Structure 1
C-alpha cells in the first residue's frame, strides 16, 4: 500500500534515518580510511618495500647468481654446534634471534681457543689438494692435540664449518683466493673442507709450484681458484740464484694476472703480508722511491709498513674503480703471525703443543700494524653499492696458536738423520687440518652474512 508522506519525512522515521547533512558527513568519514588503504596498497612510493631476502635473485652478466647473499633467497641454514641453528641471512655474521631479527655484527676476533673433541672434517690422506709442506699428519707429526681446539668468540656464536652450507652458497659462483702462500694455504684448506662432501676436479694448472690453479665442484657448478700475487701490485720477484735478492715492487702498477680476471669472479679473498718483510726496491711514477733492507744498493731505506699500506689501499681502490657496480664480495684476510722461537734450521723453532691464553701472548708491533692497515683500508673503501668489502680479521686468533705450524714436519720423517741434524722448520704456514680451517669458518659467515 502506498504512502502519502513526503520522502524526507519517510527517511526521518526509519530506525537508521539521519538528517541529510549529518548523513553525508558520516559517509565522508567512512570513506577516508578506505581511500587511505587504497593509496598505501597501490602506490609504489608509499607501499612498504618487501624484505631483501624475498627478492628474486637476478643473474649477473656472467650468468651467475648475485654474490651478495642478502640479495637472494638464501639456502637452508646449516646445523650449528649443540643443536643450535645459524641463519645464513644474518648481517655480517651477527647472530639471529628466534624472531629472525639480526643483532649487531659479530666480532670474531675477540675470543679464546677452547678444547674440542670432535675429529676434523679431513685428514692428511683424504684430501689431495694439501701442499706437501703443510701435510703434517702424513709427514709423521706424532702429536694430535693441535687438531682439537675451536675458536669461541666472547660475545657471539661461531658455528662449526658446514661444507653443505658453503657449497650451497658457492653454487654457480666463482670464488678466488689471491695473494701469497698464506692465501694458498687458506684456499687449500677450504678445498679440503668442501671435498669432505663433494669431490673437486682440477681443471687448470699453471706456473711454478702450481701458483695458478682452478677446481670445479661439478655437482654444484662451483669454482674455486688460487692466484699467486704475493704483493697484490706488480712485482718482479727476487732470483737469488741469479744474484738478485730484492723484489722490485711497482706501486703504481697492478698485477693483471689476477686483476684482469676479477670480472669473472663473484667473490675474492685477498691475503698478503709476509712478502713485504722481504728485501724490496719500491718504484712509483717511473722512479725509485725507496727500499727495504737494501744497504748494499745505496738507496734510501724505507719502512715496509708504508709500502704495505699503499699497496692495500691502491689495490682496493682499483678494484672499486673497475668493479664498483658489480655484486661481488672482496674479503681481505688480516696478517697471520709467525711463531719462531728458535732458529729456522734447528729443532725446537716452534715446538709448543698448546695454544696461548690471551694474557700470555700479546700482538707484536708488526702484527698489530699490519692488521690495523687492513681494517682501516677495508673501512675506507666500504661503500653502499653492490660491491662489498669485508675484513677477515684472524690476526688475534692466529697469534694464539703456536702449536699449529708444521715446524720440522714440513718434510717426511725430518729426524731420520738424527736429533742433531740440520732441519728446516716452518713456523709461518699452518698444518692442514689445523687452525687455518677456522679462517674458513669465519669466511662462511662473512660471504653469506
Structure 2
C-alpha cells in the first residue's frame, strides 16, 4: 500500500525531473529540424526587394499562399478582369534568361552582347511585372503547339528581325529550327522550319510596309515611299501566312520623299528639293493603314483567316546625338515613374494604337477571320535603357583601351535581353485569341 507521503514524493520527482528533460529534448529536435529544413521565402519575382538585398539574399523555394476562408471567397466574388500586360514595372529576377549567346545560332552579331564581351550582366536579371497580374515565363512547348501546322511571319524593319531572332532562340530551347530559305542583302528574307510541329517562322524586310526605294551610297540621300501601294515583297506571299507580326517606326525618321497616287505628297528633311515639309507622323499612319487594309482585303476576300499583331514603337536611349558619340551607358532600368512616355516616342505609339483600333472597326464583320491586336511594348521598352548593345555592337570594343569615339547601338536590344519579354507577352496574346475562338465554337 502506498502511503500519502511516498505518493507525493514520486509526483514531485516526475514533475521536477522527468518533464523538464522531455521539454529540453523536444526543443533540441525542433531546432535541428529548422536548421536543416529552413522555412521557404518568397522569390524576387513575387516581391520587389531593393537591389542591395537581392544581390545578397540566397534563393529559396516559394511559400505557398494560404487559402482564404470560405466566407471571404463569397464576399469577394467578382468577375476576373483581363490582365493589362503593358503597364507595370521591372523587378529583379534571379533566374535569368532561358538561353545565352552561344546556345542558338540565329543572333545577329551586333546584338550578341555576351559574346562581344559586355562585362556587366545585370541587365539579364530583370523581369517585367504587370500591375494587375504576373507575366508567365516563356513556355517554348506551348508556343510551338499553338504554331503547329502554321506559318508565322515577322514583317518590318530591323526591330522585327530583332524580335524574330529572340523568338527563335526561345523556341530553340525546346526544338531546333532548320533554316530553309534565305535571300537578299544581309539575309533580309529568311524562313525557318520546325519539323517537330510542322511550323514555319519567317522574316520579311520591309521597313515601311509600303512600296519604298531605300537611299543608297550611290544614289539620292533620301528614301522614296509610295504610301498607297503595299510592298509586294511580303504582301505577295500573304496567302501563305497564318499570323503576321508587323513592326516599323525608326526608318520613318530618315530623310524621305513621299508619293501618293503617283504625285509627290511632301517630304521629311529634304532641303533643296522644293517639296513641302510634312514630317513623318501622318506618313507612318498612312503606311500602316495601307498595310492593314491590304491584309483585310486580300485575306477576308478569299475567306481566309489571319491573326495580325502590331508591335508598337520601341524607343531608343541615346544620351547625345546618335551619330556624334551618343551612348547608352545606364546599367539598370528606370524605376516606375522615373521616365515618362512623351514626345516622339508617345506620338509614334499613339499613331500605331489608333490605326489598330480603326482597322478593328473596319473589319468588325470579319472578326472571326481577322483578329488584330497591338503588342504595346513602348512603355515597358522605354524603361530599359540598360538593354541595348551600346559599344558592344562590336566585339570587345575596349580591348586596346578606351578610345576617343566608339559607335554605340542604343536602338536594338541585346539577345538575350529585354526584347524576350515582347515574345512572352506575344505568347499570352495568342493564348487569349485561341481561348476566345474556342469559347465562340462552344
TM-score range, shorter chain: 0.7 to 0.9
Match of 1:197 in 2: 174
Counterpart of 2:281 in 1: which secondary structure?
helix
* 1:293-320 Cα deviation digits (max 9, x unpaired): 1112121101100100111112111111
Match of 1:362 in 2: 340
Distance 1:346 1:358 in 2: 30
Distance 1:258 1:387 in 2: 18
Distance 1:330 1:268 in 2: 5
- Equivalent residue in structure 1 for 2:412, among 416, 429, 434: 429
Q: 1:414 Cα deviation (Å)?
A: 0.8
Contact 2:229 2:290 in 1 (8 A): no
1:266 aligns with 2:242: yes
Match of 1:149 in 2: 126
Change beyond 3 A, Cα 1:258–1:376: same
1:169 aligns with 2:152: no
Match of 1:187 in 2: 164
- Equivalent residue in structure 2 for 1:316, among 292, 296, 306: 292
Distance 1:189 1:338 in 2: 18
Change beyond 3 A, Cα 1:402–1:171: same
Q: 1:204 Cα deviation (Å)?
A: 0.2
Q: 1:106 Cα deviation (Å)?
A: 2.2
Counterpart of 2:427 in 1: which secondary structure?
helix
Matches within 5 A, 1:158-307: 158-239=135-216, 241-307=217-283
1:139 aligns with 2:116: yes
Structure 2 spans left out of the alignment, 5+ residues: 1-60, 65-77, 433-442
Contact 2:288 2:352 in 1 (8 A): yes
* 1:177-202 Cα deviation digits (max 9, x unpaired): 00000000000000000001111000
Contact 2:91 2:128 in 1 (8 A): yes
Q: 1:418 Cα deviation (Å)?
A: 2.7
Counterpart of 1:281 in 2: which secondary structure?
strand
Counterpart of 1:213 in 2: which secondary structure?
strand
* 1:390-419 Cα deviation digits (max 9, x unpaired): 100000000000000000000101123431
Deviates more, 1:397-406 or 1:169-178: 169-178
Aligned residues: 352
Counterpart of 1:337 in 2: which secondary structure?
coil
Q: 1:369 Cα deviation (Å)?
A: 1.1
Compute the TM-score of the two structures, normalised by the length of structure 1. 0.76
Structure 1 spans left out of the alignment, 5+ residues: 1-80, 85-100
Match of 2:328 in 1: 350
* 1:96-144 Cα deviation digits (max 9, x unpaired): xxxxx98333221110000000021111111100001000000000011
Change beyond 3 A, Cα 1:247–1:233: same
Q: 1:156 Cα deviation (Å)?
A: 2.3
Distance 1:174 1:213 in 2: 13
Change beyond 3 A, Cα 1:211–1:316: same
Q: Once superposed, what is the RMSD of the aligned Cα atoms?
A: 1.8
Distance 1:296 1:124 in 2: 46
Counterpart of 2:272 in 1: which secondary structure?
helix
Match of 1:125 in 2: 102
Contact 1:200 1:218 in 2 (8 A): yes
1:386 aligns with 2:364: no
Distance 2:427 2:387 in 1: 21
